[in-house]
Amino acid sequence: MRKKVIAGNWKMNMLPNEAISMITELAPLVKDTNSEVILCVPYTDLFYALLTAQETNIKIGAQNMHWEEKGAYTGEVSGQMLKSIGVEYVIIGHSERRQYFAETDETVNKKIKAAFANGLKPIVCVGETLEQKEAGITEQIITNQTKLALEGLTNEQVKNTIIAYEPIWAIGTGKTATSEDANNSIKAIRNKILEIYGNEVAEDVIIQYGGSVKSSNAKELFGASDIDGGLVGGASLKAEEFSKIVNYDK
């Protein structure tokens, strides 16, 4: 039985004092959950978030990293740097990074490998655009992104990768995929993993849904057979709302 993993992606929001307040408020609200709770915060909040989340069941992640360990890459942060302060997770290949910062399937793959080399767990995002959805090629797009992202990883690494299926047209728009559509897309991703890595890996790998998840739709989405939790943007910025998503099953 796969555990649900519910992660917040704060994107470029929250100053350190806001991060500390939010996590302090969230911790008692989610302490009894059966799900894994992660907050992926801006680099400038990481240290404060880690300190505030100590002794709680909230895990902290970053939203990006570079694939090299160090060097002349002005403005970049490496996996080794994240690991050195106690970060456990890192989002890789979010559609906003693919769209605005020229990330490709190739750089996504390099970053995932570097994350594992540094003992970080990657949360890898895949998802189709509205045009691709309307052209009826969603499955082809997301299974291909998944295949390229995971290329060259061991079975053990794929098992420890979290995949977030985030249809781009659903991000920040208030338009959520129906639980049936999201579940079917996630099944297609799981089938692709089965084809390449076998049944055991496919059964274990966590595949989340992301895109306008909120407390009012979390139960319906996370109740679907193949949706193993969510990657939550806007609704993860407020402790009470995010706690309701985490406690969707209560």
Cβ of residue 221: shortest distance to ligand 13P, in angstroms?
Answer: 11
Map residues 38-77 to x or -, x wherever contact with ligand 13P holds by CB under 6 A.
----------------------------------------
Question: Is 116 or 209 the residue whose CB approaches ligand 13P more closely?
Answer: 209
CB atoms within 10 A of CB 57: 14
CA Rg, the chain, in Å? 17
Helix (H, G, I), strand (E, B) or coil at 205: coil
Q: Any idea how long the chain is? A: 250
Cβ of residue 166: shortest distance to ligand 13P, in angstroms?
Answer: 5
CA trace torsion 247, 88, 147, 219 (10° rounding) = 0
Q: Of the residues 96, 103, 128, 166, which is catalytic?
A: 166
Map residues 221-240 to x or -, x wherever contact with ligand 13P holds by CB under 6 A.
----------xxxxx-----
* 103 touching ligand 13P, by CB under 6 A: no
Bridge partners of 161?
Answer: none
- Residue choice 28, 172, 198, 223 for contact with ligand 13P (CB under 6 A): 172
Is residue 171 a contact partner of residue 211, using CB atoms and an 8 Å limit? Answer: yes
66 noted as active-site residue: no
Helix (H, G, I), strand (E, B) or coil at 39: strand
CA 138 to CA 194: how far, in whole Å? 18
Is residue 214 a contact partner of residue 193, using CB atoms and an 8 Å limit? Answer: no
Question: Is 38 or 201 the residue whose CB approaches ligand 13P more closely?
Answer: 38
Q: Of the residues 36, 94, 96, 103, which is catalytic?
A: 94
* 175 touching ligand 13P, by CB under 6 A: no
Chain residues binding ligand 13P by CB under 6 A are: 9, 94, 166, 171-172, 210-213, 231-235
Active site residues: 94, 166
